[in-house]
Amino acid sequence: MVSGGLGKTHFWNNKIRKKIESMQLNGKRYTTIYMSLYGISNLEEISKKIFIETTQLMDKNLRKFMDNNSQSTIPEYAKTGIDMANFFGVTQNGDKVDYGEFFSTDDKVLCFDDLERANVDVIDILGYINNFVEHDHIKTIIICNEKELATKLKSSNLEMKTFIATYLLDKQDELNNIDKPLVEKIQDKIEHVFDKANDYERIKEKLIGETFEYAPKFDYIINGILMRYENDPDLIRFLRENTGLIISTFNKSGTRNLRILKHALNDFSKIYEMVNKNYPNTSHRIIQTMLIFTIAISFEIKAGKITKDKFVNIKDNEEYKSILVSSRILMDNRQFYIKEFDNNYYYNFKSEYRFFKFIEYYVRTRIFDMKIFKENMETIRNTVDTENLPAYRRLLTEEYWKISDDQFGNIINEIISDVKEGKLSLIDTVKIFAYFSYFSRKNLIEYDLKTLKSIFFNGMNIASLNSTYCANVDEELGKIAIEEVAEDMEDILRHFNMLNDQLHDKMYKEKAEDIMKCVPMKMEQFYEKFDKECMDIPIFKYYDAFQLFQRISCASNEDIVLIKEKLLDRVEKNPKKLEPEMKNIKQFKQIIDDYLKGKAPSIKIVMLKEFSDTLGIILGKYKPSFLPKREVKEDVEEMQ
């Protein structure tokens, strides 16, 4: 058995095979039969491939040969070949096939390559190959990359294994035990329950007589690969300066597959060209990270280590980083995989921006999407690729313990200053407080909790003046990478919710103003925006009833009818969601009714009267629930 990475097949063809076929042992020369298992999906395909490689075809004299030579069984490797030869009616020299030569096994050497790349269970393949070794006594060589094979054995059906391992830990009351990280516990349980690698080792010990490791000098080979870029002086200079990163990332992949590395470097040459052409001042560190990421993602996807969908739903670097720093354990193995990916490829390499969606998309789909590329690069240029990255961004996107002690004090002071001036968004101010509360309790900072609360309350008030409403509060708070969230957060969260509600009202007031100003002069824009944005939100709660009457009364009769129908339709579809606007609708109806008093009939007056009647129907769907009890009582008295 030969174990190694890429180059092993070349070594077989140019060294081992030639050596075997040139040997003469006991007067016999050996014939080699090579077969790649790449892509094999069932065991029958192995026999078919052997048949094609040998081109030794059977015919009708088979039975005569077997009788004359007292042969009772057909060698395993020839069985499918016989069926194929009979099916195609192929013979050799008419009807004279030398079966004695064909069935002779003492001068043949079978070579099975790419064991790790077959689509059949490796245990089944080894059992099948064992037929040739034990039954036919054929000398057999197996070539495979054992590291890649081990990864394949461990990573198959990982989602199912993770689910079962989590279930077992829960049943054993080990899930909430904090003696070690949960990710590590799950990994240990998977290896304990599903250790197929041990099955492989047992069969290998029984089947394989000798194992030889093919270990080429990869540093020398990689330098040879880089020579293809000699015509691009800037690129080759960058690659040669970062040969260490290339080799390190290549080794961390665990596959030693130079074919994939060649493809990855070709992809990077395109990426390097586009970055330098469109964003020539991109920092050296960012381009280094792109190089690592391109090689890493290529190996992860192309070496079959993962399914392609692991990265599909990660839309940007922010989401990637939030998965890494989130303290919440997601009961799917995406977080487990992403953390393992990051710890492996970026170990001892610090970089704020290390997930490039345009690169992942390019490697996965072979499409270089310019829109994604520009979005990524603009984000990089405006955030991490500057010398003025805000300190609070480091704290929110980087594990705090990675900040060096000599930088920590300056970062704390800078954040406090930004909080006091309201430079952070409202939600980010809340998240930062969680860190500062933790730091205070651990005596990492000199501020006590009372002082911190005062600073952050005032900072939140100022921040709310320029912040926008946060709709996904729970999701944002879930990104806090602090295991111990203190009770001190309750006051901060209460104040945040009050301010966030005000921002919510402010957002809808601005939306209402933007939409209603289209009436009556830009009705097409009004209908488009209203249908798209207002059918399930109580937009009339946030618009003055008198202004609403002025605008609608100036609309054409046709528009008055259309608006009336839309109002009725939306209430029938979303009655509960629209209830908060009913108080304003009641006032709106009263204004219309007051206007209509004493007016002589006209088409406009009739249309407004019907509009008012429709508003009455709408209000009737809620009355008396939408008004406070006192107002309901007054309404009843008026009716009496």
Q: Write the DSSP assignment of 376-429 as a string of letters.
A: HHHHHHHTTTSTT--HHHHHHHS-GGGS-HHHHHHHHHHHHHHHHTT-S-HHHH
CA distance 357 to 317: 8
**Is residue 402 a contact partner of residue 351, using CB atoms and an 8 Å limit?**
no
Q: Please give the DSSP secondary-structure letter assigned to residue 561.
A: H
Find tokens 């930088």 and name the residue: 407
Helices 158-171 and 333-345: angle between axes, nearest 10 degrees: 110
Q: Would you list the DSSP string of 627-638?
A: S-HHHHHHHHHH
| Number of neighbours of residue 443 by Cβ within 10 angstroms | 7
Residue type, 291: L
Residues 6 or more apart whose Cβ sits within 8 Å of residue 295: 246, 249, 250, 253, 261, 264, 265, 268
Residue type, 416: I
> Residue 193 has what pLDDT?
63
> Residue 638 has what pLDDT?
46
What's the Rg (C-alpha) of the chain? 37
256-288: per-residue pLDDT in tens? 788 899 999 999 999 999 999 999 888 888 999
Question: SS3 of 314, please?
Answer: coil
Residues 6 or more apart whose Cβ sits within 8 Å of residue 543: 509, 512, 513, 516, 584
Q: Where does 74-224 show beta strands of DSSP type E?
A: 108-113, 139-144, 212-214
Strand partners, 108: 31
Predicted TM-score (pTM) of the model is 0.46
Helices 233-241 and 218-226: angle between axes, nearest 10 degrees: 160
> Residue 303 has what pLDDT?
75
**Is residue 372 a contact partner of residue 358, using CB atoms and an 8 Å limit?**
yes
For residue 252, how many C-alpha atoms fall within 13 Å in the half-sphere facing its CB? 23
**Is residue 322 a contact partner of residue 479, using CB atoms and an 8 Å limit?**
yes
How many whole angstroms from its chain centre is CA 131?
Answer: 43
Tokens at 194, concatenated? 């599903």
Residue type, 102: F
CA distance 304 to 298: 10
Question: SS3 of 113, please?
Answer: strand
Question: SS3 of 3, please?
Answer: strand
Residue type, 147: K
- How far is CA 281 from each of CA 312, 328, 386, 549, rounded to the nearest angstrom? 29, 38, 10, 56
Instruction: Write out 5-65 in H/E/C secondary structure.
Output: CCCHHHHHHHHHHHHHHHCEECCEECEEEEEECCCCCCHHHHHHHHHHHHCCCCCCCHHHH
Residues 6 or more apart whose Cβ sits within 8 Å of residue 50: 33, 35, 77, 80, 81, 110
What H or E segment, with its residue span, contains residue 321?
helix 317-325
CA distance 61 to 76: 19
CA distance 314 to 392: 23
- The stretches in the chain having pLDDT less than 70 are 1-7, 49-106, 147, 150-161, 163, 167, 171, 175-184, 190-199, 215-218, 304-308, 326-334, 385-389, 397-398, 483-487, 623-640
Q: Please give the DSSP secondary-structure letter assigned to residue 369.
A: -
CA distance 12 to 34: 9
> Residue 69 has what pLDDT?
57
How many whole angstroms from its chain centre is CA 130?
Answer: 41
